[in-house]
Amino acid sequence: MADLVPYIVAAVLLGGMDLYFVRAAWLHWTGSGRAPDIMFGYSLNPSVGRGHERGIVALAAWLVCMTISIAAATAASNGAGPVVVHVGAAFLLASLCWLVLHVTIAWFNWPKVLVPPHRRGETGSVTEWWRRRGQRALRDKGHGRGGR
């Protein structure tokens, strides 16, 4: 029984994190004012935070799939059958697909189906960066290297 304690603690922590992100995704999807502002890392660019909030549904699905694949891998290492290994591999592959979807939503705001309805009109982080880059280039056109 004592050898199961780390697994139980990890399962409770990952399960709690899954529930938090699924709830956050639901609140962002419904446009509720109670949706938590989740800090995903440090960035001076506010479009990065908005991008992660647009992709919260894919991020929550990625986290759930990763938790299931980790649980299946743990069970497989303790002698479970080959079916558990196949289930774990399927969820690991699904988690990679969800991660790619999250990145494309954050960067390009595409596919719109996975973006919360009230945020579908926004542009992606890369698109915003590209437009700002073009505006700076037009503004600085004709100036030397030093911007004078």
| Cβ atoms within 10 Å of 115's Cβ, excluding its own | 23
Q: Per-residue pLDDT tens for 66-75?
A: 999 999 999 8
Residue 40: predicted pLDDT: 67
pLDDT, average across residues 130-135: 86
Amino acid 38 reads I
Q: Per-residue pLDDT tens for 97-110?
A: 999 999 999 999 99
Contacts for 140 with CB less than 8 Å, ≥ 6 apart? 147
Look at residue 133 and tell me whether its pLDDT is greater than 70: yes
Report how far residue 49's alpha carbon sits from residue 11's, in angstroms, rounded to the nearest whole number.
28
Residue 141: predicted pLDDT: 76
Judge contact between 64 and 102, C-beta under 8 A. Answer: no
Alpha helices (runs of H) in the chain, residue ranges in sequence order = 5-30, 46-54, 56-77, 82-108, 125-139
Question: What average pLDDT is seen over the chain?
Answer: 89
Judge contact between 69 and 95, C-beta under 8 A. Answer: yes
